[in-house]
Chain A
Amino acid sequence: GQQVMQIPQYQHVQEGEDFTTYCNSSTTLSNIQWYKQRPGGHPVFLIQLVKSGEVKKQKRLTFQFGEAKKNSSLHITATQTTDVGTYFCAGGGPRAGGYQKVTFGTGTKLQVIP
């Protein structure tokens, strides 16, 4: 079945440094979503990319969907302590009527050192 891996599993950065997490799927995806889970909290949707090679920005966050629609990345510029949390990608797979299978990646836990 579809597998979605993320690297790195953990990342510690000094506040102000940049951070990037990479997401790789074993199969071609129809779309990719990104979620953030704060410590002790639940995942919250950040963004969805649909088109091959698509790039979207949200303030200091830049999201990219690969040309082959099998990989994606999230880049945070000048991290802040509010960026702490675990970032998950989620790949959209086959569609059956009103349901589309979404496979969550393994997640990257970001720690920002003040």
Chain B
Amino acid sequence: SQTIHQWPATLVQPVGSPLSLECTVEGTSNPNLYWYRQAAGRGLQLLFYSVGIGQISSEVPQNLSASRPQDRQFILSSKKLLLSDSGFYLCAWSSKLGTSGSLAKNIQYFGAGTRLSVL
């Protein structure tokens, strides 16, 4: 079965410090990968998505960057955190469209999330 791991669960960082959040997927290959941010009580904002190793698409201009060094690893980074970077960060994966089997529906499977507080 497929699983998605995201860590850490909670993070408190000072303004201006760097950030690295990691997400890994097990049990599937060549997934689409996503990073979302959710402000308190708000909706999901897509930050980045990746369709393959080294392929990153950014949805909104921001202080963050993403990398995909391996097929099932997705990393969210920042060189200098801002107060406005606080939020709930969610990693997700989906199968490629056209993939055979029960996972062919472009359903997104989310990790448990990281609650980031920038102080």
Contacts and interface: CB of A to CB of B under 8 A. Distances in A.
A33 B90 contact: no
B15 interface: no
B106 A100 contact: yes
A80 to B, nearest CB: 23
A105 B46 CA distance: 11
A33 B107 contact: yes
Contacts, number: 56
A88 interface: yes
Nearest to B105: A48
Contacts of B46: 103-104
Interface residues of A, number: 24
A98 B103 CA distance: 13
Given A99-B32, A100-B97, A104-B44, A92 B112 contact: no
Contacts of A100: 97, 106
Nearest to A5: B43
Nearest to B95: A98
A107 interface: yes
Contact of A42 (B99, B105, B113): B113
